[in-house]
Chains A and B, each alone.
Chain A
Amino acid sequence: MAAFIIRRTLGAVIVLAVVSFLTFCIFIVIPGGDPAERMAGKNATDENIANIRETWGFDQPFYVQYAKMMQNVFSGDLISYTTQQDVIAEIKRGLPATLSLAIGAAIIWLFFGVLVGVISAVTAGRWSDRGITILALIGISMPVFWLGILARYYLGPENAGIFPDGQYVPLTENPVDWFYHMILPWFVLAVLFIGFYGRVLRSNILDSINEDYVRTARAKGLNPRRVLIKHVLRNSMIPIVTLFALDFAAVIGGGAILTETVFDLQGVGQYAARSVRTLDLPPIMAVTLLGAFFIVFFNAIVDFLYAYLDPRIRPS
Chain B
Amino acid sequence: MAERLLEVKGLKVEFATEDGVVNAVDGVSFTLDRGQVLGIVGESGSGKSVTAMTMLGLTRGVNARFEGEVNYKGRDLIGMSEDELQTVRGNEIAMIFQDPMTAMNPVYRVGMQIAEGLRAHNSRMNKHQSRARGVELLRAVGIPNPESRVDDYPHQFSGGMRQRAMIAMALANNPDILIADEPTTALDVTIQAQIIELIDRLKDEFNSAVILITHDLGVVAEIADVIMVMYAGRVVEVGSKRQIFYDPQHPYTWGLLGSIPRLDRPKADRLHSIEGVPPSLINLPQGCKFRPRCPHAFEKCWEEPALENRVEEPGHLDRCWLPVEAKRNIREATISGETRAA
Contacts and interface: CB of A to CB of B under 8 A. Distances in A.
Verify that A and B bind, or say they do not: yes
Interface of A: 211-213, 215-224, 226, 230-231, 234-235, 309-312
Contacts of B56: 219
Contacts of B102: 211-213
B105 interface: yes
Interface stretch (B90-98, B134-142, B242-250, B293-301): B90-98
Interface of B: 56, 58, 82, 86-91, 94-95, 97, 99, 102-108, 116-117, 120-121, 153, 155, 166, 169
Given A212-B102, A220-B120, A221-B117, A312 B153 contact: yes
A234 B105 CA distance: 10
B117 A220 contact: yes
B58 A216 contact: no
Chain A's interface: helix, strand, loop or mixed, by majority?
Answer: helix
Given A212-B103, A231-B105, A311-B107, A221 B91 contact: yes
A287 B184 CA distance: 60
Nearest to A216: B103
A224 B58 CA distance: 12
Contacts of A211: 102
B116 A222 contact: yes
A122 to B, nearest CB: 13
A316 to B, nearest CB: 8
A293 B12 CA distance: 62
Contacts of B153: 311-312
Contact of A222 (B95, B106, B120): B120
Given A216-B103, A219-B89, A220-B169, 15 more contacts: A213-B104, A215-B58, A216-B105, A216-B166, A218-B89, A219-B58, A219-B95, A220-B90, A220-B117, A221-B88, A221-B90, A222-B116, A222-B117, A224-B82, A235-B107
B82, B89, B107: residue with the most chain A Cβ atoms closer than 10 Å: B107
Nearest to A211: B102
8 contacts: A216-B105, A221-B117, A221-B120, A221-B121, A222-B116, A224-B82, A235-B106, A311-B106
Contacts of B97: 212, 215-216, 219
A217 B86 CA distance: 11
